[in-house]
Protein backbone atom coordinates (compact mmCIF):
# COMPACT_ATOMS: atom_id res chain seq x y z
CA UNK A 1 0.00 0.00 0.00
CA UNK A 2 1.24 3.47 -0.81
CA UNK A 3 2.60 4.87 2.47
CA UNK A 4 0.95 8.28 2.42
CA UNK A 5 -2.41 8.30 0.64
CA UNK A 6 -3.42 11.80 1.69
CA UNK A 7 -0.10 13.19 0.53
CA UNK A 8 -0.50 11.52 -2.87
CA UNK A 9 -4.06 12.84 -3.25
CA UNK A 10 -3.01 16.37 -2.32
CA UNK A 11 -0.06 16.26 -4.72
CA UNK A 12 -2.22 15.01 -7.59
CA UNK A 13 -4.88 17.68 -7.06
CA UNK A 14 -2.24 20.37 -6.78
CA UNK A 15 -0.66 19.29 -10.06
CA UNK A 16 -4.06 19.28 -11.75
CA UNK A 17 -4.80 22.85 -10.64
CA UNK A 18 -1.31 23.99 -11.66
CA UNK A 19 -1.66 22.42 -15.11
CA UNK A 20 -5.01 24.10 -15.71
CA UNK A 21 -3.72 27.49 -14.59
CA UNK A 22 -0.51 27.25 -16.63
CA UNK A 23 -2.12 25.85 -19.79
CA UNK A 24 -5.08 28.23 -19.81
CA UNK A 25 -2.98 31.15 -18.60
CA UNK A 26 -0.40 30.80 -21.38
CA UNK A 27 -3.00 30.60 -24.14
CA UNK A 28 -5.16 33.40 -22.78
CA UNK A 29 -2.14 35.66 -22.11
CA UNK A 30 -0.70 35.00 -25.56
CA UNK A 31 -4.12 35.68 -27.08
CA UNK A 32 -4.42 38.98 -25.22
CA UNK A 33 -0.92 40.03 -26.32
CA UNK A 34 -1.60 39.22 -29.99
CA UNK A 35 -5.03 40.85 -29.93
CA UNK A 36 -3.64 43.97 -28.23
CA UNK A 37 -0.75 44.12 -30.71
CA UNK A 38 -3.18 43.95 -33.62
CA UNK A 39 -5.34 46.73 -32.23
CA UNK A 40 -2.23 48.82 -31.46
CA UNK A 41 -0.93 48.43 -35.03
CA UNK A 42 -4.35 49.36 -36.41
CA UNK A 43 -4.73 52.42 -34.20
CA UNK A 44 -1.15 53.54 -34.90
CA UNK A 45 -1.68 53.24 -38.65
CA UNK A 46 -5.01 55.07 -38.50
CA UNK A 47 -3.53 57.89 -36.41
CA UNK A 48 -0.53 58.18 -38.72
CA UNK A 49 -2.71 58.25 -41.84
CA UNK A 50 -4.89 61.05 -40.45
CA UNK A 51 -1.86 63.37 -40.22
CA UNK A 52 -0.16 62.16 -43.39
CA UNK A 53 -0.23 62.77 -47.12
CA UNK A 54 0.11 60.10 -49.81
CA UNK A 55 2.93 60.31 -52.32
CA UNK A 56 4.22 58.10 -55.11
CA UNK A 57 7.53 56.40 -54.43
CA UNK A 58 9.84 54.08 -56.32
CA UNK A 59 11.57 51.12 -54.67
CA UNK A 60 15.34 51.50 -55.06
CA UNK A 61 16.36 48.24 -53.40
CA UNK A 62 15.24 45.43 -51.11
CA UNK A 63 17.96 45.70 -48.49
CA UNK A 64 19.02 42.38 -46.96
CA UNK A 65 16.81 40.29 -49.27
CA UNK A 66 17.63 36.57 -49.41
CA UNK A 67 15.89 33.42 -50.58
CA UNK A 68 14.30 33.20 -47.13
CA UNK A 69 13.69 36.89 -46.41
CA UNK A 70 11.87 39.64 -48.31
CA UNK A 71 14.33 42.22 -47.10
CA UNK A 72 13.60 45.85 -46.23
CA UNK A 73 12.40 48.18 -49.00
CA UNK A 74 14.35 51.37 -49.59
CA UNK A 75 12.30 53.96 -51.49
CA UNK A 76 12.73 57.36 -53.07
CA UNK A 77 9.98 59.97 -53.20
CA UNK A 78 9.63 63.72 -53.64
CA UNK A 79 7.76 66.31 -51.57
CA UNK A 80 7.52 69.91 -52.77
CA UNK A 81 10.23 69.28 -55.32
CA UNK A 82 12.69 67.85 -52.77
CA UNK A 83 13.81 64.23 -53.06
CA UNK A 84 13.88 61.93 -50.01
CA UNK A 85 15.16 58.41 -49.45
CA UNK A 86 13.73 56.26 -46.66
CA UNK A 87 13.55 52.69 -45.38
CA UNK A 88 9.97 51.49 -45.02
CA UNK A 89 8.40 49.88 -41.96
CA UNK A 90 7.21 46.74 -43.75
CA UNK A 91 7.61 44.71 -46.93
CA UNK A 92 5.37 42.52 -49.05
CA UNK A 93 6.05 39.74 -51.54
CA UNK A 94 4.90 41.97 -54.40
CA UNK A 95 7.69 44.51 -53.80
CA UNK A 96 10.78 44.59 -56.00
CA UNK A 97 13.29 47.22 -57.14
CA UNK A 98 11.77 49.58 -59.68
CA UNK A 99 8.17 49.11 -58.56
CA UNK A 100 6.14 52.22 -57.83
CA UNK A 101 4.05 52.25 -54.65
CA UNK A 102 2.14 54.76 -52.53
CA UNK A 103 3.63 55.75 -49.20
CA UNK A 104 2.43 58.20 -46.56
CA UNK A 105 4.56 60.97 -45.03
CA UNK A 106 3.89 63.26 -42.09
CA UNK A 107 2.94 66.77 -43.22
CA UNK A 108 5.27 68.39 -40.69
CA UNK A 109 8.12 65.94 -41.29
CA UNK A 110 8.41 64.47 -44.81
CA UNK A 111 11.22 62.17 -43.67
CA UNK A 112 8.75 60.24 -41.48
CA UNK A 113 7.17 57.85 -43.93
CA UNK A 114 5.24 54.58 -43.79
CA UNK A 115 3.76 52.05 -46.18
CA UNK A 116 0.17 51.49 -45.05
CA UNK A 117 -1.65 49.91 -47.97
CA UNK A 118 -0.92 46.30 -47.01
CA UNK A 119 -0.97 46.40 -43.21
CA UNK A 120 -4.71 45.70 -42.94
CA UNK A 121 -4.02 41.95 -43.28
CA UNK A 122 -1.43 42.20 -40.50
CA UNK A 123 -3.94 43.79 -38.14
CA UNK A 124 -6.54 41.17 -39.05
CA UNK A 125 -4.02 38.33 -38.55
CA UNK A 126 -2.97 39.53 -35.09
CA UNK A 127 -6.57 40.05 -33.99
CA UNK A 128 -7.63 36.67 -35.41
CA UNK A 129 -4.73 34.76 -33.83
CA UNK A 130 -5.26 36.56 -30.54
CA UNK A 131 -8.93 35.59 -30.54
CA UNK A 132 -8.07 31.97 -31.41
CA UNK A 133 -5.46 31.56 -28.66
CA UNK A 134 -7.56 33.26 -26.00
CA UNK A 135 -10.56 31.22 -27.12
CA UNK A 136 -8.60 27.96 -26.85
CA UNK A 137 -7.51 28.79 -23.31
CA UNK A 138 -11.04 29.78 -22.29
CA UNK A 139 -12.55 26.71 -23.99
CA UNK A 140 -10.16 24.35 -22.20
CA UNK A 141 -11.06 25.95 -18.87
CA UNK A 142 -14.80 25.69 -19.60
CA UNK A 143 -14.47 22.03 -20.61
CA UNK A 144 -12.56 21.31 -17.41
CA UNK A 145 -15.25 23.05 -15.35
CA UNK A 146 -17.92 21.04 -17.17
CA UNK A 147 -16.12 17.79 -16.30
CA UNK A 148 -15.88 18.87 -12.67
CA UNK A 149 -19.63 19.58 -12.55
CA UNK A 150 -20.32 16.17 -14.11
CA UNK A 151 -18.09 14.48 -11.52
CA UNK A 152 -19.87 16.23 -8.64
CA UNK A 153 -23.27 15.28 -10.05
CA UNK A 154 -22.38 11.61 -10.47
CA UNK A 155 -20.65 11.43 -7.08
CA UNK A 156 -23.89 12.69 -5.54
CA UNK A 157 -26.48 10.76 -7.58
CA UNK A 158 -24.74 7.97 -9.50
CA UNK A 159 -24.84 4.25 -8.83
CA UNK A 160 -21.56 3.05 -7.34
CA UNK A 161 -19.85 -0.05 -8.75
CA UNK A 162 -16.46 -1.54 -7.95
CA UNK A 163 -14.53 -2.03 -11.19
CA UNK A 164 -11.39 -4.05 -11.80
CA UNK A 165 -8.43 -2.01 -13.03
CA UNK A 166 -7.30 -3.39 -16.38
CA UNK A 167 -4.71 -0.83 -17.40
CA UNK A 168 -2.90 2.37 -16.52
CA UNK A 169 -1.33 4.48 -19.25
CA UNK A 170 0.15 7.94 -19.63
CA UNK A 171 -1.92 10.62 -21.34
CA UNK A 172 0.73 11.86 -23.78
CA UNK A 173 -1.60 14.58 -25.07
CA UNK A 174 -0.95 16.53 -21.87
CA UNK A 175 2.43 17.32 -20.37
CA UNK A 176 3.93 19.44 -17.59
CA UNK A 177 7.64 19.60 -16.74
CA UNK A 178 8.19 16.53 -18.91
CA UNK A 179 5.63 14.46 -17.00
CA UNK A 180 2.25 13.16 -18.13
CA UNK A 181 -0.97 12.48 -16.22
CA UNK A 182 -2.36 8.94 -16.15
CA UNK A 183 -5.56 7.41 -17.49
CA UNK A 184 -7.07 4.36 -15.80
CA UNK A 185 -9.01 1.70 -17.70
CA UNK A 186 -11.28 -0.66 -15.78
CA UNK A 187 -13.95 -3.35 -16.19
CA UNK A 188 -17.10 -4.19 -14.26
CA UNK A 189 -19.12 -7.38 -14.55
CA UNK A 190 -22.76 -6.87 -13.58
CA UNK A 191 -24.76 -9.56 -11.70
CA UNK A 192 -26.57 -10.41 -14.95
CA UNK A 193 -23.24 -11.20 -16.62
CA UNK A 194 -22.98 -8.09 -18.76
CA UNK A 195 -19.52 -6.55 -18.86
CA UNK A 196 -18.96 -2.79 -18.83
CA UNK A 197 -15.71 -1.06 -19.71
CA UNK A 198 -14.79 2.37 -18.35
CA UNK A 199 -11.96 4.81 -18.85
CA UNK A 200 -11.08 7.67 -16.55
CA UNK A 201 -10.15 11.22 -17.37
CA UNK A 202 -6.59 12.45 -16.83
CA UNK A 203 -5.29 12.43 -13.25
CA UNK A 204 -1.93 13.73 -12.08
CA UNK A 205 -0.87 10.64 -10.16
CA UNK A 206 2.02 8.26 -10.65
CA UNK A 207 1.13 4.72 -11.68
CA UNK A 208 2.88 3.31 -8.60
CA UNK A 209 0.50 5.29 -6.40
CA UNK A 210 -2.36 3.05 -7.56
CA UNK A 211 -2.64 0.17 -5.09
CA UNK A 212 -1.87 -3.21 -6.78
CA UNK A 213 -4.96 -5.29 -7.56
CA UNK A 214 -7.18 -2.67 -5.94
CA UNK A 215 -10.54 -1.95 -7.50
CA UNK A 216 -11.68 1.53 -8.42
CA UNK A 217 -15.08 3.05 -7.75
CA UNK A 218 -17.11 4.09 -10.77
CA UNK A 219 -20.20 6.28 -10.44
CA UNK A 220 -22.68 5.51 -13.20
CA UNK A 221 -25.77 7.48 -14.19
CA UNK A 222 -28.77 5.37 -13.20
CA UNK A 223 -30.50 6.00 -16.52
CA UNK A 224 -27.52 6.10 -18.85
CA UNK A 225 -24.59 3.67 -18.31
CA UNK A 226 -22.54 5.61 -20.87
CA UNK A 227 -22.50 8.57 -18.49
CA UNK A 228 -20.03 7.74 -15.72
CA UNK A 229 -17.16 9.00 -13.61
CA UNK A 230 -14.15 6.87 -12.68
CA UNK A 231 -13.07 7.93 -9.19
CA UNK A 232 -9.33 7.32 -9.49
CA UNK A 233 -8.86 8.86 -6.04
CA UNK A 234 -10.51 5.76 -4.59
CA UNK A 235 -7.69 3.56 -5.92
CA UNK A 236 -4.85 5.58 -4.41
CA UNK A 237 -3.03 3.93 -1.53
Same domain, 167 and 137: no
Beta-carbon contacts of 98 under 8 Å, excluding residues fewer than 6 positions away, are 58, 59
Q: Is residue 46, in this structure, part of any structural domain at all?
A: yes
- Contact, 235 vs 185, CB < 8 A? no
Lowest mean pLDDT among 10-24, 80-94, 177-191: 10-24
Number of structural domains (the chain) is 2
Higher pLDDT, 178 or 184: 184
Q: How confident is the model at residue 218 (pLDDT cuts 50, 70, 90)?
A: very high
- Dihedral sign from CA coordinates of 146, 150, 151, 152: positive
Helix 120-157 / helix 5-50 crossing angle, nearest 10 deg = 150
Check residue 212 and give its pLDDT. Answer: 66
Shared-domain flag, residues 142 and 188? no
Residues 229, 199 share a domain: yes
Distance CA 217, CA 38 (A): 50
Q: Report if pTM > 0.75.
A: no
pLDDT at 181 over 50: yes
Nearest to 188 by CA among 211, 143, 218, 158: 218
For 181, the domain range is: 158-237
Question: What was the pLDDT predicted at 173?
Answer: 86
Residues 134 and 172 in one domain: no
Residue 34 CB contacts under 8 Å (≥ 6 apart), including other chains? 126, 127, 129, 130, 133
Please report, for residues 37, 85, 125, 146, the alpha-carbon distance to residue 90 in angstroms, rounded to integers and kept in the order given. 16, 15, 15, 45
For 106-125, what is the mean pLDDT? 87
| Higher-confidence position of 234 and 7 | 234
Pairing relation of β-strands 216-220 and 100-106? unpaired
Answer whether residue 15 is part of any domain: yes
Which range, 2-16, 113-127, 187-201, has the best average confidence (pLDDT)? 187-201
Query: How large is the average pLDDT for residues 61-90?
Result: 91
With CA atoms as reference, report the closest residue to 232 among 217, 221, 220, 219.
217
**Same domain? 25 vs 122:** yes
Task: For residues 170 and 204, state if they share a domain.
Answer: yes
Amino acid sequence: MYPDREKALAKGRRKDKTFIRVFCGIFILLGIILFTAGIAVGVSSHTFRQKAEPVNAVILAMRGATSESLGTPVVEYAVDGKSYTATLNMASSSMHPGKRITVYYQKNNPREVRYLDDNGWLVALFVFMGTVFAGMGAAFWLVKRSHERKARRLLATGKVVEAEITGIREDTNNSMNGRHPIVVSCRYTAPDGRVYFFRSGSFWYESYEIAPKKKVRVYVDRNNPADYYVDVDSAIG
